[in-house]
């Protein structure tokens, strides 16, 4: 699985750093929603779902956390430790966010508004969808 990690350009001067994110320029989609999570306990694993069509970029703008990505064939863990780096998550990718530092703020830029109908929350359903799209590549889990 190819993990797409973005390194954004900080505009630094003697006052500190500033990162600006523009849709279709720094971010490969129209940004229709921004949300963020904080005060996440270190032993918590969030996510456990995929999306039918939503695309997102996750940026840990403070502290650190890890993202587990699973395309149904392969799993990869992506650490997010810098406020100028982000990971792109396409549709049909199972994600889990874990190992949050106490001060972590995980911000998400999303290509669409919140829609519970876009979630795939059952792992077997997710594998079934992936299997239908590329049946030869699937190893049964």
Binding stretches for ligand T46 (CB under 6 A): 33, 35, 37, 46-47, 56, 58, 95, 97, 108, 114
CB of 40 to ligand T46, least distance (A): 8
* Among candidate residues 29, 93, 92, 38, the one with its CA nearest the CA of residue 67: 93
Compare residues 80 and 127 and give the one whose CB is closer to ligand T46.
80
Nearer to ligand T46, 18 or 81 (CB): 81
Closer by beta carbon to ligand T46, 37 or else 90:
37
Min separation Cβ 9 and ligand T46, Å: 24
| Nearest distance, CB of residue 37 and ligand T46, angstroms | 6
Indicate left, alpha or beta for 40 from its phi (over 0: left) and psi (-120 to 50: alpha).
Answer: beta
Q: Please, what is the minimum distance in Å from the beta carbon of residue 107 to ligand T46? A: 10
Q: Per the residue annotation, which of 49, 51, 62, 124 is the catalytic one?
A: 49
Is residue 56 a contact partner of residue 109, using CB atoms and an 8 Å limit?
yes
Residue 124 bears catalytic tag: no
CA-to-CA distance for 36 and 118, rounded, in angstroms? Answer: 19
In 26-39, which positions are buried (b, 16+ CB within 10 angstroms) versus exposed (e)?
bbebebeeeeeeee
Q: Which is nearer to ligand T46, 58 or 127 (CB)?
A: 58
Closest C-alpha to 54, from 117, 3, 97: 117
Query: Which sequence positions are flagged as catalytic?
Result: 49
């Amino acid at each position: 699985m190819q993990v797409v990690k973005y390194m954004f350009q900080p505009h630094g001067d003697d006052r500190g750093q500033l990162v600006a994110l523009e849709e279709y320029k720094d971010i490969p989609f129209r940004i229709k929603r921004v949300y963020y999570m904080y005060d996440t306990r270190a032993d918590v694993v969030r996510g456990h779902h995929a999306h039918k069509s939503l695309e997102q970029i996750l940026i840990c703008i403070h502290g650190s956390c890890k993202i587990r990505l699973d395309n149904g064939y392969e799993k990869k863990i992506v650490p997010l430790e810098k406020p100028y780096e982000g990971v792109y998550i396409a549709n049909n990718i199972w994600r889990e966010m874990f190992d949050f530092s106490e001060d972590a703020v995980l911000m998400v830029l999303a290509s669409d508004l919140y829609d519970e109908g876009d979630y795939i929350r059952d792992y077997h359903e997710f594998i079934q969808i992936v299997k239908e799209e590329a049946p030869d590549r699937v190893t049964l889990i």
